[in-house]
């Protein structure tokens, strides 16, 4: 699986690190700025924990330690992101497990220490981060388990409320990231085709640049025409057909026809697919299954932060 991911055009997980300015900007927006907003401060302001009126009323200060504990089994994700958040607010973060670790109920994922006001101010966003990313990673791993014995891979879509953080969570669970944003790959969908208004799709694809070129189709005949077009253009960029809202039977029929023509590109199936349906699509011949629900309907993993004062 790892070897397949390392060479797959839909895998961009190596870019999902705080060392990448695009990713670190997401960490700033969804983590640091969220804590500052919770304190009633603009995103570029220095932290002022006295603005937490509950904590400042109850405690003059002091130190705190805490542990992140699993209250159910799942796949851990979000450790680099948690370290980024804690570092910004002067909290020491000590991971006890790595991203991708299988947690059992009661396992400690990390320990932290810092000023009590800082820990209590960061608590909510820290837990939301770890719960959400771990929930996505856990569900992705469960889908992968359904596909054991096949070569079909799981991918995210761009239906990601937490943007690249959601993509990272899918990668931790063993999935492909797909496009990270509009700038890195070409995905021609129905509205693009409608907007062409008679212009040549062939000429447009010949000019296209990106990590890969993907064309969405909604029928068997459209898939055949698109695959023939890819073959005629002989593009050096990886080409992918997105079979949108096809049933497993329709995917099987389409793949069979493409194979008989000798024009079979990479095949992605998408559109309302869930864990229960994943294996049927794999057996029908899809190389990749992209599932929007992994991120747009993510179930959080139950984690808690237990804090001790002093």
CA dist 11 and 274 (Å) reads: 20
306 pairs with which residues across the strands? 67
The model's pTM: 0.93
Could you give the CA distance from residue 263 to residue 253 in angstroms, rounded to a whole number? 14
Domain locations in the chain?
Answer: 14-134+299-309, 144-296
Of the pLDDT bands very low, low, confident and very high (cuts 50, 70, 90), residue 1 is very low
The closest of 87, 138, 96 to 114, measured between CA atoms, is 87
Residue 301 is given by DSSP the state P
Q: Domain 14-134+299-309 classified CATH 3.90.1170.20? A: yes
Strands (E), the chain: 63-70, 74-75, 92-95, 102-103, 108-115, 153-155, 186-188, 213-217, 239-244, 266-270, 288-290, 303-309
Tell me what pLDDT residue 6 has. Answer: 55
Q: What does the pLDDT look like over 191-202, one tens digit per residue?
A: 887 777 656 888
pLDDT per residue as tens digits for the range 129-171? 999 999 999 999 999 999 999 999 999 999 999 999 999 999 9
> What does the pLDDT read at residue 41?
95
pLDDT tens digits for range 170-180 = 999 999 999 99
- What's the CA gap between 248 and 268, in Å, rounded? 12
Pick the CATH number of 144-296 from 3.40.50.1000, 3.40.50.300, 3.20.20.70, 3.10.310.10: 3.20.20.70
Q: In angstroms, rounded to a whole number, what is the distance separating the alpha carbons of residues 65 and 12? A: 36
Give tens-digit pLDDT for 257-305: 999 988 888 999 999 999 999 999 999 999 999 999 999 998 999 999 9
53-61, long-range: CB within 8 Å, 24+ apart, which pairs? Answer: 55/116, 55/117, 55/120, 55/121, 56/117, 59/116, 59/117, 59/309, 61/115, 61/116, 61/117
Contact 66, 304 (CB under 8 A): no
| Cβ 132 vs Cβ 162: under 8 Å | yes
Per-residue pLDDT tens over the stretch 201-224: 888 888 888 889 999 999 999 999
């Amino acid at each position: 699986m790892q070897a397949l991911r390392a060479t797959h055009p839909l895998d961009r997980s190596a870019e999902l690190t705080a060392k990448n300015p695009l990713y670190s900007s997401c960490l700033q927006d969804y983590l640091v700025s969220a804590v500052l907003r919770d304190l009633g401060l603009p995103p570029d302001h220095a932290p002022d924990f006295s603005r937490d009126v509950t904590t400042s009323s109850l405690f003059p200060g002091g130190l705190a330690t805490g542990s992140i504990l699993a209250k159910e089994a799942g796949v851990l994700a979000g450790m680099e992101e948690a370290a980024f958040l804690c570092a910004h607010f002067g909290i020491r973060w000590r991971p006890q497990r790595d991203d991708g670790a299988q947690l059992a109920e009661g396992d400690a994922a990390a320990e932290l220490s810092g000023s009590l006001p800082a820990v209590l101010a960061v608590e909510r966003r820290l837990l939301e981060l770890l719960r959400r990313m771990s929930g996505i990673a856990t569900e992705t791993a469960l889908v992968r388990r359904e596909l054991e014995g096949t070569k079909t891979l799981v991918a995210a879509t761009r239906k990601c409320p937490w943007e690249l953080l959601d993509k990272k969570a899918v990668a931790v669970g063993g999935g492909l990231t797909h496009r990270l944003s509009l700038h890195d790959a070409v995905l021609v969908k129905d509205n693009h085709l409608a907007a062409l208004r008679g212009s040549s799709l062939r000429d447009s694809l010949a000019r296209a640049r990106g990590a890969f070129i993907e064309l969405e189709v909604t029928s068997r005949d459209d898939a055949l025409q698109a695959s023939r077009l890819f073959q005629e253009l002989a593009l050096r960029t990886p080409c992918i057909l997105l079979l949108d809202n096809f049933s497993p039977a329709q995917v099987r029929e389409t793949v069979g026809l493409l194979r008989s023509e000798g024009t079979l590109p990479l095949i992605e199936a998408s559109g309302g697919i869930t864990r229960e349906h994943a294996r049927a699509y794999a057996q029908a011949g899809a190389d990749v299954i992209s599932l929007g629900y992994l991120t747009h309907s993510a179930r959080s993993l139950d984690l808690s932060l237990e804090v001790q004062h002093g």
